[in-house]
Structures are given as structure tokens and as C-alpha cells.
Structure 1
Amino acid sequence: MTLRRRIFLIFSVSSLVPFLSIFIISNYTIDQIFDNKIKSGINSNLRQVELSLGNSISNLNHVSQQLAYGNNIVKQIDEVLFQTMDPYTRLHTRDQLKNELNMVTFTNPNVGLTFYYIQNENKIQFENFPVEDNLALDSLPLLSSYYDITYFGPHESLSRSDDGIVLSALRKVGLPDRDNVYVYIETGFSLTQDILDNNEYGGDLTHLILDGNGRIAYSEVPETFKSGAQFPQFSMDEGSGLHEGYYWFKQTSNQNWSVVSVISKTNYNKEKDQWMVKIFFIALIFIALTILLAWLLWQMVYKPLNLFNSEIKFMSQNRMRPQHKLTKIPEFDYLLRQFSEMKKQIWNLFEEVELKEKKRIDLEVEKLLYQINPHFLMNTLDTVHWLAVINGQKEIDRLVKSLNKLLYYNLGKLGQVSTIEEEIDALKQYLVLQQIRYDFEFDVRIDVDKNVLKQPVPRFILQPLVENSLYHGLSDDGYIEVSVVLDKVIRISIHDNGAGMTEETIQEILNNRTVEHKKVGMGIGMNYVKRMLEASYENKASLEIKSEIGKGTSIFLTLPISKEKT
């Protein structure tokens, strides 16, 4: 793991763990507080609604008792509806009855529509407001029923002048010998709706009203809790629960009917979610601040480390660099100054080593040159001697000319740069001497790209490679191919179809620095070429030998193109 990742990880963990612990504890605490607050608010509001509805029903019970059992009112109803009397007396009695009925409803402002209902005749009498034409008391939502009174849950008023939601009661009138007369009473205008709309909790509450058997008599959420359906998880006890995305809370009255407050899960958690969003944004700000501080801490460490890295990289590339910038951090600045002093000492050591190495390479190359030239010179002079004995002046003159040219080129100043053209010409002179020496026409095929002739190369690198092919089993029908092409680099290839060499022999030729060989010049020239390439091109040039016993040898030489002009 990198230093940056470790800094970010350690700093993040040390900062976030306490915060996350506080966040989890706060979240749990807030959740409990809001749960208690919400449940307490809803239950408090529910009790208030249940109490108000209970009072309204009690008031209906009280008024209905006056209208159904009052001695004077019951007597007048019996006389007007069922007794025989003269028209004047009947009209007078009816007026007195209406006055008494008006007095009862006037002294009870929470009472709305009131009328008497003769069941077998489906007839309405003494209504205080106009009643709808299609009267159907049997369709009203039953809330509870006792021996002489029936209560109906919230429903639309039967009055034509009011379409609000009301509670109502139907009580049998205590007439002697008659059981088909009832008094119907509704709560006052908007009273029931105001009770149901009462919301001290403040959330989006809706209500259900259940009868004593758990049937839904009234529903403000008909898509989930349908009127007339059985309420889920019903019991007579107070309670709460969750059904199809709605939380519900139930309060049961003394008359066994129940009020249920219903709130959607979304609204139930709305205030809590708002707090959680605030906490989440605070957490994001805290995390961003933590990351920013970790980044600043990393920058304090990264910039000095980057300076060290840059210094080391420049030093490894042998490149000079101006005086480093200070980091304004004393500890790192001290290390940078120490590193700068160390770098100066290393540069001095590099210069000393390079100078010594250059001198050593020059001496070794020069030594190799002087090892090669005497061997060649002695062999050639020996050939001249025998030619002078056997042949005439013409052949000797030809031999001496080639020898002079070749010696002049080969004995040139150490380190002097040559060209491909000069190397090819020296190679041809060398082949002339060898052909005269061995009295044999060597089949040497030379193919040189004209574009490469003027390219500068180290002196005396081509002849030792061809000499190696001549000395390694070139037969009478053998040949040597020399190719020089220019392809972004100078590619020189020398191929023969001679006896070939083993890998062990190849390695010996390339790496053996001694001159203990059976054949003259063998190994000395190849080693010279290898060392000269190292001295001139460092690692930019390559020398490769491929050989197969019985099939021949191929030498590949790759040289970089030099910008130096000769």
C-alpha cells in the first residue's frame, strides 16, 4: 500500500470512526425520540377525536330521550298522529308540538336535522329542515345498536340544505300500543367534520370509524380501508400496527365502537427523514473536510517526496539539475541539502570512474590493434617473399600495392573515425591479398546501399568479421555474402556457407581476450570488434552470431546512425 493510501486510510479511520459512532447513536436516539413523539401526538389527537365523537353521540342520546320519552311531547305526537279530534284542536296541538320540538333543538345547538319517522308508512313528520326525497335509513352505516336506539357512523346528511358529514341516531318513540314510530336526529352542521379534521398532531392524519365487530363504518382512505370491509388485525383493545404502507392507531369507546387514526408511512417518517437528511448533509460536509485535511497532510509529505524522487531520477539519467527548491519544512529541507552534497560527491566519483574506464578501454583497444597488425604483417611479408621467388615483378607489384593500402588504413590513428565506403575499400584490398596468398578466387559477394557509404563508423570493424568467415571452414564451393543497408540504423550482415560453429565456440570467440589460438588472427579480430563497439557506442550497438554445424555462419552487426560527418 502506497504512503498516500496509508495516510488517507489512517486519517479517514481516525476521523470517521468517532463520527460514525456518534452518527449511529444519534440516529438511534433521534429515531426513538421521534417514534415516541409521533406516537404520543397521534394517540393524544386520537383520544381527543374519540372523546369529541363520544360527546356528540351522548348528546344525540340525550336529545333523542327528550324527543322520544318526554311526557308532553309523546302525548302530543300521539294525539296529532293517531287520535281523532276536530281540525282546530289538531292544528293547535300540532303548533304546540312544533314549538316544543324547536325549543329542544334550539337549546341543543349541536343538533341538526330532526324528524319523526313512521316506519310502516315510510312517512316523515315534524322535520325541522327539508329532507331528501329518496329516504333510505337502512343504507346508513351502522355504528352500534341497543334495544331502543341505533347509532349511525359518519355519513352525508339527509337534509337537502346540508351535504356535510354527520353522526345520527334513530330511537323508538315510547307511544302506547305503537312500535313503528321513531325519532331521527343528526349532529349539527359541520360538527362531525370539524371533529374528524381536528389534528393537534400536525401530520397528515385520516380517520376510520369501526363498529363493535370491527367493520369499517366510515373511511377517509377508501382505496386501502374500504367502508363495509372488516378492519385487519381487529381486537377490542387499543393498539397500533402497519397495513399496506399505513400506520394505524386505534382507540375504543365505551359504546364499543372505535376510532382509528391512519397515516401513511411516508408522512409518518417525514419529520424524521428531514432530520436524517440534515444529518446526512452534515456527514457529507464532515467527510469532505476529512478528505481535505487528509489531502493537505498528503501534500505536506508528497511535495518533498516528489522533490527527492525528481532529484534521484535526474541523477540516474546523468542529467544536470539546477539547485533544488526548498519545501519550507525544516526536516525535509535538511535532508534535501544533505542529498545535494551527496549528489555532488557521486558526480565527482562518476567523472573519475568514467575517465579511468575510458583510458582502460583505449589501452585495451590499442593493445588489440597491435596484436592484430604484427600477425597480419608477418604473414603477408612471408607471402611476398615466396612470390618474389616464384613469380615475376608484376604480381609482386600488385601484392605490394594492396598491402600498402591496407597497412595504411589498418595502422591509422587510434580512435580515428572512418566511413562505410572506406571500410568496404579496405575489405576489398584485404581480399586481394588473401586471394594472392592462397592462390584462390574467394567468392565474396558485397552488396552496399549507396545511402550508407558516407556514414561514419569506427575504423577496422568489417575486415575482422569477413576474416572470421574465411577461417571457419570455407570450402572450394563456398561463398561469403556481405550486406550493408540503411534502415533507421546501419545493418551489416555477413553470411557464409562454411562448416559452421558450435555455441561454445561462438561464446569463446566473443568473450576470450587471450591470443592462444591455432589459427592466425582467429578470435583476436572478433574480440576487437566487440570491444570497439562498446567503446564507441556503449549499449546502442549490437553484435550477434548465429551458426549451424554444416550449414554456415551468419554475423549481424547493428550500428546507430551517427550525426558526425567525415
Structure 2
Amino acid sequence: MWNKITSGMFSKLMSALQFYRNISIKKKLLLVLYIQILLPLIFIGFFSFKSSEEIITNKSISYSKDILSLIELRLQDTVRNLNIISQDLRSNENIYQALINDYNNNINKLNNYEVASQLNNVFLKAAITRNEIESICIVSNSKRFFTFDNNNDTDGSNIKSVVKQNYTQIRESVAASNGKAVWFFNSRNGMVQNAYLIRMIYHKDTYKEIGLLVVQINMEFLDSVLQGLESEVMQNTTILSSDNEVILYKNKAAMDKYEQVIKKIPYDKDSFVDKKNNIFVAYTTLSEPNWRIVTYIPLNQLYYDVGELRNRIIMLCVVSILILSIVSIFMSFDMIKPINQLVKAMKGMNIDNISDSYIEIERRDELGFLHKTFNNMTKEIDHLVTWIYREQITRKEAEIKALQSQINPHFLFNTLESINWMAQLNNVPEISETVSDLSTLMEASIGRDDRLITIEEEFIYIDKYIALLKRRFEDRLTLIKEVDPKVLYLKIPRLLIQPLIENAVYHGVESSRGKGIISLTARIKGELMVIEVIDNGNGISADDLIKLNKGLDMDNDTYFKSLSSKKNKSIGIDNVNRRIKLFYGEKYGIKIESKLNIYTKVSVTLPAQIYNKEGFYVQSTNN
């Protein structure tokens, strides 16, 4: 598994390296410049952003702790003062006496008004002197209510209505507090409407419960705990009860938006970042009562300065890219353009226009040195090509002359042999016609005027040659021609096909006792002209056929080097094949097919074009 992963990574690395090698120098320079500038900018920007974010987070945590500590101190002072007020009220002699009388059933209708009036004075005095108090309520064991209420609401939220409605719950919570003050909240949809401090009042002698003291807290006074603590960092503060009821808050919209987040605070952290809701939260918990003070701020506000830094880094990158692009354009004109000129000159240089590849030198740096070196190299190549080209031409002409000189004596010998046969056997005037045909062929063989002739002219020579041969073979020799009219005006070297007919006669018809038939076809096949000479002679064995085709496939250099070691030098087909390759190129030439005692087919492949260009074919060695 590890080997596969390593192999895959290596393959990708090699592909990336190959891609880099294949792109242009201009793109390489741009890539290097961008990497050298943008990568440091990105790394510096990234680490600056993260460092700033961390610094701001740490400062926010420290600042939030300070704010939370201050709020905690204020709340503790407020709760302590409220505890003292409730303790004073619980110890008030008038309140205590009224509860004792009710406990002993000593309050009747006559003195009930007097007791209520006394207690009302006590409540009024306490409410006037302490801004923390909104309303006060005393409830005896017999559920007799003595109240002072500044809340004039008629919606059932006054202190007497709230206590009556929740009396059982309130009494149970106070009874379980072991004499401590208990907080009770009148809430709606998780939002505290009114807060109450409740204490149990006990009999001084028997320590039995004789009544309840309920003090409604002024919410505006409680809200003053959060006043004066606004800041850009910590502007949203909420105080939650032990039951996650919202007692106080600074920002209603923010509290509504993030209520579910601040009510599900993990108890193992005093601050954290909620990435899901993009908010920073810090909190602390009061020891008594068990309230939580939560302060929070959205990350987009907390990291506003960091965002500005990020935007500046992005702008810096954009400006850097623009500057780099301008620099790259300048470099493309100053450096890449001369390189492209050199590349273009090298691509356009060929054997016909070497001297035209000269580059103007306009600089003296390394690129100027390359241009100067290229110009010198061009001059040297032009000089060498001129001489070597001429040398090769001379060599080809000499080789062709050597080949042609082999054909003429061979052809002349066979023709004279035919005349000799006719002279011995017939002794008739037909010899004149034979000599006339022979002279025509001799003229074609040694002619110096046109180096190329049309297929039509070549076939006229073949007809003359067959006429000569028929005087020897009579009815034993038949020539069948199938010629596409399109090929008649295509030009080929003189006497290129005649040796193939001669070869078919002397190696096919002459060695056979039957009637000899030679087929001559010429047609266009794609971009090629194909000429085929087929005879019905004895054919060629498979081994000899392989050797013949192998020799025909040789390139010119190999062929001429092998001439000195050849014992049996072929005159006809071999020489024609070599002339074709020298004149048209290595990919053209002759191919032989044969079946023993059935047929032999010689196929000539030439380019199918009207060849007007003067060639290097030399017909004769006559001077």
C-alpha cells in the first residue's frame, strides 16, 4: 500500500516536472516571479492574520474576564445589600409581632386594620430609603397577606397575585433553604419579568415557621449593574438564573439571536469560540446565588481589525500581481523577444534559405552573444552546405553515369546478337528495319538533350524494342499494354522501363519453351504512379526472391559500398532500382513478386507528379 502511494506521488511529481519543462520560458519566468513574491506574501499574510486573531482573542478573553469580574462584584454587592434589607425586614418588631399574633390567632377584624397600617408604614419606609425594593409582601401561616406594592399593573403581575399563584412552590423552596434567602423569578418565555427575594420568618423561641417575607426587586435598579460597562469588544451581556432564565440583558436583538448558544454553555470552559454561530463567548458564575454572567460578541465584530488587515493583504497581493504583470511584459520585450527571434530563425532555417536566417544584433549581453554566435554558425553552415551539396551532386552524377555505362553495352550486345541470328537464318532485307529500330534505341540511350521524357515516349521506345525482339522470337513473344491515359504525360528518366521489359524477355520468355506473354500496366494509385511488368516465364524461387528484394531495399550508400564485393552484378533490375532511388529518393523503387513456373511481376513505384524540375540524371558517358 505504501509503495503504491509513493509510486503515485513520484509519478505526479514527474508529471509536474515534465509540465514545467514543456512550458515556454516566458511562462517559467512568470511562474518563478509569482512564486517568489506571492508565496512570501501569502505566508506573511496568513501568519499575520492568525497572530492578530490570536492576540485579539487573548486580549478579548482578558478584557472579558475583567468586565465579568466587575459585574460579579457589583452583583455580589447588590445581592448582599438585598440580603441585608431582607434580614432587617425579617427582624422588624412590628412584622414579627404581627406574624406572632396571627400565629396565636390574636388578630381579629377590629385590629386587623391597625396591624396592616403599621406594617404599611414599615414597608413604605423601607421602599423609600432603598431603591432596590419595588414591593414587599408578608404572608402569615394562615395565608393572611400584608403588602406594599408599587406595581400598579392589573395584569396579575403584582406581588400579591404572584405570591398567591406560586405560594406552594415558593414555600417549598424556602423551607429547603435552611434559613437562607431564596430567589424566585416570575418568567415568561424564559425571560424574567420580576425578581423576588424570599425569606422564611421563624418564631424566636420555638424556631417554627410563622410566615414568609417576599421582597420584589426593582428591575431597573438591577439593570444598573450593567450600566457603564459598554465597549466595542464586550457590548452584549446577559445574566442567567440557575434555571437558564434571562434575568438581565444589554442587547435584546443580539440576545434573541444567540439565546440558544448562551444557554448551552459548556461548564468546563470560561471562554470559547462557537465557530458554528461565529461568536465569542465568555462567562463566570456567582457562588451565591448560582447565576451566570455571560458576555459575547460576533466574530465579525471581534475580528474587524483583523478583517481589515486581511483586506489590505489581499490588496497588496493584487497590486503585486499587477506590478509583476507589468514587469513580465517588459521582460517579454526585453528578454523573451530576442529568444523568440532566435527560436524562429532556427525553426525557419533550412537548406534553401540558410543565408536568410541572419539576426540583427541590438544588444551586447548574453542574448546578444547568442545572436552573434548563431549568425556565425549560420554563415559556417551555409558555407559547408554549399560545398557538400555540390560534392553530393557530383557524386550522384558520377554514380548514375556508372550505372548508365553498364546498361548501354549490355543492351547493345543483346541487340547485335538478334541481328546476328536474323542474318544467319533469314538473310533478308528485314535486317534494314532491325537496324533502323536499333538506331532509334541507341539514340535514346546516348541522347543528351532532354533528361526527362514522358511515359508516352518511353513506351514508344519499348514498342521499338519489342519489334526488334519479335524478329527473333516471332510468334513466341506478345506484349499486352494497359495504360491509364492520366500517366502518359508524366515524366520519368529516359529508358527507365525498357530494361525491365528486357529482363522479362531474357529471364522469362527466352528460358521458356512456351509462348511468352509480357503485360505492361501503368496507373495512378493515390499519390503514386505504379508501373508493373509481368511475364509468364519460369519464375523465381523463394530463396532467390528474398535475396533479390533484400538487395533492392538497400539504401544507396550501402549498395555502392557493396559493389566491390559483389561477384554477380545485376545489370537490369538492380540498376533501374538504383537510378530511381538516386533520382526520386530512398522510399521509391522496385519490388519483385514471383511464383515458380507461373509468373514474375516487377512493380515500379514513382511519385505521381509532373516533374518539371531539372534532375541530375546523366544518360551517357560519351564525351
Q: Which TM-score bucket, shorter chain as reference?
A: 0.7 to 0.9
CA distance in 2, matches of 1:440, 1:203: 125
- Does 2:402 align with 1:396? no
**Larger CA deviation: 148-157 vs 43-52:** 148-157
Question: TM-score, with normalisation over the residues of structure 1?
Answer: 0.79
CA distance in 2, matches of 1:322, 1:565: 25
User: Where do 1:452-467 residues align within 5 Å?
Assistant: 452-467=487-502
User: Residue 29 of structure 1: which of 48, 51, 56 is its match?
Assistant: 51
**Larger CA deviation: 298-307 vs 216-225:** 216-225
Change (3 A) 1:86 1:136: closer
User: Residue 103 of structure 1: which of 125, 129, 138 is its match?
Assistant: 125
Deviation at 1:149, TM superposition (A): 3.7
Identify the residue that residue 549 of structure 2 maps to in structure 1.
506
CA distance in 2, matches of 1:139, 1:316: 108
Identify the residue that residue 483 of structure 1 maps to in structure 2.
521
Q: Match of 1:365, as an amino acid?
A: I
Change (3 A) 1:285 1:117: farther
CA distance in 1, matches of 2:231, 2:469: 122
Residue by residue, what CA displacement relative to the aligned partner does 1:499-519 show, whole Å, maximum 9, x if unpaired?
Answer: 153333334466655599999
Identify the residue that residue 556 of structure 1 maps to in structure 2.
604
Q: Match of 2:91, as an amino acid?
A: Y
Deviation at 1:420, TM superposition (A): 1.3
Change (3 A) 1:268 1:369: same
Deviation at 1:282, TM superposition (A): 5.3
CA distance in 2, matches of 1:54, 1:143: 20
Cα RMSD for the two superposed structures: 4.5
Identify the residue that residue 314 of structure 1 maps to in structure 2.
348
Change (3 A) 1:422 1:154: farther
Residue by residue, what CA displacement relative to the aligned partner does 1:371-415 show, whole Å, maximum 9, x if unpaired?
Answer: 322321232123213312322535324423432332233332265
Question: TM-score, with normalisation over the residues of structure 2?
Answer: 0.72
Contact 1:164 1:189 in 2 (8 A): no
Identify the residue that residue 259 of structure 1 maps to in structure 2.
292
User: Residue 209 of structure 1: which of 240, 243, 264 is its match?
Assistant: 240
3-state SS of 1:502 partner: helix
Identify the residue that residue 182 of structure 1 maps to in structure 2.
212
Change (3 A) 1:20 1:515: closer
- Does 2:455 align with 1:409? no
3-state SS of 2:130 partner: coil
CA distance in 2, matches of 1:67, 1:484: 135
- Does 2:608 align with 1:543? no
CA distance in 2, matches of 1:382, 1:193: 140
CA distance in 2, matches of 1:241, 1:190: 30
For structure 1, the 5+ residue unaligned runs are: none
CA distance in 2, matches of 1:152, 1:333: 93
Deviation at 1:139, TM superposition (A): 5.9
Deviation at 1:170, TM superposition (A): 0.6
Deviation at 1:555, TM superposition (A): 2.5
CA distance in 2, matches of 1:376, 1:386: 16
Determine which structure has the larger helix proportion and give its number: 2
CA distance in 2, matches of 1:313, 1:537: 26
Q: Match of 2:321, as an amino acid?
A: A
Deviation at 1:542, TM superposition (A): 0.8
Residue by residue, what CA displacement relative to the aligned partner does 1:200-259 show, whole Å, maximum 9, x if unpaired?
Answer: 463575646364xxx6465966645769xxx7546xxx8445789576544233426242
Change (3 A) 1:240 1:332: closer
Deviation at 1:45, TM superposition (A): 2.6
3-state SS of 2:496 partner: coil
Residue by residue, what CA displacement relative to the aligned partner does 1:113-167 show, whole Å, maximum 9, x if unpaired?
Answer: 4323346538563333244346225668989974334332765389xxxx86444
Deviation at 1:565, TM superposition (A): 10
CA distance in 2, matches of 1:516, 1:382: 30
Contact 2:591 2:602 in 1 (8 A): yes
Identify the residue that residue 533 of structure 1 maps to in structure 2.
580
**Larger CA deviation: 416-425 vs 555-564:** 555-564
Change (3 A) 1:265 1:555: farther
Contact 2:527 2:607 in 1 (8 A): no
CA distance in 1, matches of 2:520, 2:564: 26
CA distance in 2, matches of 1:388, 1:422: 29
3-state SS of 1:393 partner: coil
Change (3 A) 1:275 1:186: farther
Contact 1:153 1:217 in 2 (8 A): no
Contact 2:458 2:495 in 1 (8 A): yes
CA distance in 2, matches of 1:441, 1:262: 123
Deviation at 1:260, TM superposition (A): 4.7
Q: Match of 1:431, as an amino acid?
A: I
3-state SS of 2:476 partner: coil
Contact 2:198 2:213 in 1 (8 A): yes
Identify the residue that residue 332 of structure 1 maps to in structure 2.
367
Deviation at 1:72, TM superposition (A): 4.1
- Does 2:181 align with 1:150? yes
Contact 1:165 1:192 in 2 (8 A): no
User: Residue 493 of structure 1: which of 523, 532, 546 is its match?
Assistant: 532
Change (3 A) 1:356 1:283: same
- Does 2:197 align with 1:169? yes
Residue by residue, what CA displacement relative to the aligned partner does 1:58-92 show, whole Å, maximum 9, x if unpaired?
Answer: 232233223322234544676799644675x6545
- Does 2:476 align with 1:441? yes
For structure 2, the 5+ residue unaligned runs are: 1-16, 248-254, 615-623
Contact 2:593 2:601 in 1 (8 A): yes
3-state SS of 1:524 partner: coil
CA distance in 1, matches of 2:409, 2:529: 30
**Larger CA deviation: 430-439 vs 448-457:** 430-439
Aligned residues: 549
User: Where do 1:72-471 residues align within 5 Å?
Assistant: 72-75=94-97, 83-84=106-107, 87=110, 90-91=112-113, 94-118=116-140, 121=143, 125-129=147-151, 130=153, 131-132=156-157, 133=161, 135-136=165-166, 146-152=177-183, 156=187, 165-173=193-201, 179-192=209-222, 195=225, 200=231, 202=233, 205=236, 207=238, 209=240, 211=242, 216=244, 218=246, 223=260, 232-233=266-267, 239-240=270-271, 249-255=282-288, 257-261=290-294, 263=296, 270-271=303-304, 274=307, 277-278=310-311, 281=314, 284-285=317-318, 288=321, 292=325, 300-316=334-350, 318-319=352-353, 321=356, 324=359, 328=363, 330-393=365-428, 395-413=430-448, 416-439=451-474, 441-471=476-506
Deviation at 1:169, TM superposition (A): 0.9
Contact 2:64 2:295 in 1 (8 A): no
CA distance in 2, matches of 1:428, 1:515: 35
